[in-house]
Chain A
Amino acid sequence: MVELIAKYPFLTQARELLKSDRVKYEELERAQDLVIDALAGKKREFFKSAEEEAKTLVLAKLLLAGLQNELVARKFASSKAAEFVESLKNGDESELRMVEKEFFPSIGANQISLGDFLKAGGKLAEAQLQGGRVFLDENALFRLLRNAIAFKLSDFSQISLRNMPPLVREAAQELGERIPAEPAFASAFKGKYLQLECVQKILKGVPEGKRYYGSVTLAIACVRDGLTREQAAQVMQDYVNNCPRGAQPFTLREALASLDWVYKHPSIGFSCSVNVSRGLIDGQCANCVRRRKR
């Protein structure tokens, strides 16, 4: 088991190896390196002790949570998940079975429950679904496993930023400085629709209950302005960061789901009246460029 945790330190059993002693700066540095390497697509070939691997991964998650950049967190998670799944594909079958069981407790012969499938972020529309079971071939199962691992690695819902020790905070800031900067795109982009006063207001965040509608409106503005999906994802990142957390945080994943849906239906028009009916737009319409043009 210890060997398995060294290779797959995201497993739940890894928690048992974590001690509550003080975090050392060197450990935080190691966690920073883990993030930087993953973002650069560097694969790890040698594993240290299970305890050290588990601790480094937990600290990396803490640093990423402290960094509060969901796009970076997702890139890290996606890169590490791909690495883990590659290792599982080439590794021992018993290891694969244990990891599968962690993410899909309901797993049977080439099938898992609908609940496990959805939790892992599977795409249901084209799924082989019957009686609450999703049937998967080997490739589909690996894809889903990769999703599930990535989701776990980028899930910071249990991390309290308020209680984060100052040393970890500093290390998170340092990590931010070490990550090559992405061009500051989203707020600076001057598209016709993204520039609208109401859209700019939405971009600054909307309250719970309207966050989904806000994401759809922004996605439509992005499509209309001819942004690529990647550029639009950065707009969404800004939006998600600006939205209040609410009872349930509005995640980048949800915002990107809106984005993907709108990008699949690019003919959807930008509608002021729909935005008004959804409570996204109020008084500022009087000065709107679109209104003056009409």
Chain B
Amino acid sequence: MSLDFIRKQFGDYYAKNAVEIPDLRHREFGFGVEDKIDFRHKAFASQEDLNNYLAREAPLYASYSAAHYGLPEARPMQRKNFLGADLVFDIDAPSQKTEHAHNDLLCRVCLDAVKNDAIRLYEDFLLGDFGFSQKDVEVNFSGQKGFHFHVRGENVQQLSANARRQLVDYLQGPPVEKLLFESRKVLRGPASEAKGWGGKLYSQARRFLATASLEELRKKGLRGQTTLSVFENRAFVLRKMAEGNWDAVKGLHSLWEKVLEETRSQHAVVVDGAVSFDTARLIRLPDSLHGSTGFIAKKIARLQAFAVDDALAFSKEKTINVACDKNLEFELGGRVFESAEGKPVELPLFAGLFLLCKKRAKLVLGEA
């Protein structure tokens, strides 16, 4: 009963809200009700066909290929005639774990952390280091826990799987020994003109050293004479660092390693790599509904301003009655909802559907 109800709501939503996909005729589509993808290798001739299908079939999950094919419907894969693929990044978990009261149902803290990572991915890497143009990058909410980035410029279409993997690896930063290494018994590191991760490390290390107190140096593990020596000669150490010599005062290797780790944790972004480099995979259709939440996988114009409430698809006025599998509490649409185990409760449609999609509640007919 709950599933039929959800699909009816999804169908009604799609009947009123069109989804639009660039180069639709060359994309492969996949849909699911039981699973995220029950079947794939589907293609549509027009946006209208796709939207009619969504309204008629009301799938809980709709995905499409980042790849463009000459024959998207053909199977097996090698008959599709691969033409190229958008570059896709999927970020669905915070890169750093934080201690917090995690809400398994809908965790605002995790969502905020993922959003911050997504902003960093967008600004520091996609627009910054990789130099993609803003118009070529589309970002959308995944519909559940994270964000998807679709880079659609000409220059990414023919990137090999290996090249895509290089981009993914770059987001996590290089191993320490690639940036700090001994050459002729001198510890060498990035110089003032360094770019990429070298530049990030150099700036961070320089910022730290330029302002560090004796206490802060000790906190980083420096001891005795070395601490004093660095503190008193910091101008000299900074000058040498600018030339790439990180050994002006001996015994700082472990300090720099710590700074590098800090740099990495401040800048690195963890994405689901396979989504980026396996071009045969399908990814959630932007602006479609997510069957595990009922949220829209919404295209986002300004990531900083995005809140999960912007992705609510269903009415705040209409209500439904549901009974939850256990005591639940969550915040959605500017309201906090609480429900007791097994007890029918009247909820706005968006919140009730959220619980139904999460499989944490059952639809109850009649009054709560």
Contacts and interface: CB of A to CB of B under 8 A. Distances in A.
Interface of A: 113-115, 118-119, 121-133, 135, 208-209, 212-213, 244-248, 251, 253-254, 257, 264
Nearest to B125: A129
Interface residues on B, range: 35 or more
A133 B169 CA distance: 17
B78 A246 contact: yes
Contacts of A114: 130-131
B278 interface: yes
Q: Which 7 A-B pairs have the closest CB atoms?
A: A132-B131, A118-B163, A129-B196, A125-B174, A130-B195, A124-B166, A126-B178
A128 B194 contact: yes
Given A118-B159, A118-B163, A130-B196, A246 B131 contact: no
30 contacts: A115-B155, A115-B156, A119-B160, A121-B162, A124-B166, A124-B167, A124-B170, A125-B166, A125-B169, A125-B197, A126-B198, A128-B194, A128-B198, A129-B196, A130-B199, A131-B128, A132-B130, A132-B131, A133-B131, A135-B195, A208-B77, A208-B78, A208-B280, A209-B278, A212-B277, A247-B280, A248-B161, A253-B162, A254-B161, A257-B162
A119 B195 CA distance: 20
A162 to B, nearest CB: 14
B315 to A, nearest CB: 38
Contacts of B79: 247
Among B67, B81, B160, the one with the most A-chain Cβ atoms within 10 Å of its Cβ is B160
Interface string B81-99: 1100000000000000000
Nearest to B153: A115
A246 B77 contact: yes
A122 B196 CA distance: 14
Contacts of B346: none
Given A126-B197, A127-B170, A264-B175, 7 more contacts: A115-B156, A118-B163, A124-B166, A127-B196, A129-B129, A209-B281, A246-B78
Contacts of B80: 247
B169 A124 contact: yes
A103 B165 CA distance: 21
A36 B162 CA distance: 29
B274 A212 contact: yes
A126 B169 CA distance: 10
A245 B78 contact: yes
B196 to A, nearest CB: 4
Interface string B156-187: 10011111011101100111001100000000
Contacts of A113: 155
Nearest to A256: B162
Contacts of A213: 274
A131 B131 contact: yes
Interface string B123-135: 0000011111000
B161 A128 contact: no
A37 B170 CA distance: 38
Contacts of B280: 208-209, 246-248
B80 to A, nearest CB: 5
B279 interface: yes
Contacts of B195: 128-130, 135
A277 to B, nearest CB: 12
A125 B170 contact: yes
B131 A244 contact: no
A126 B80 CA distance: 36
Contacts of A212: 161, 274, 277-278
B82 A247 contact: yes
Given A126-B179, A128-B196, A247-B280, A257 B132 contact: no
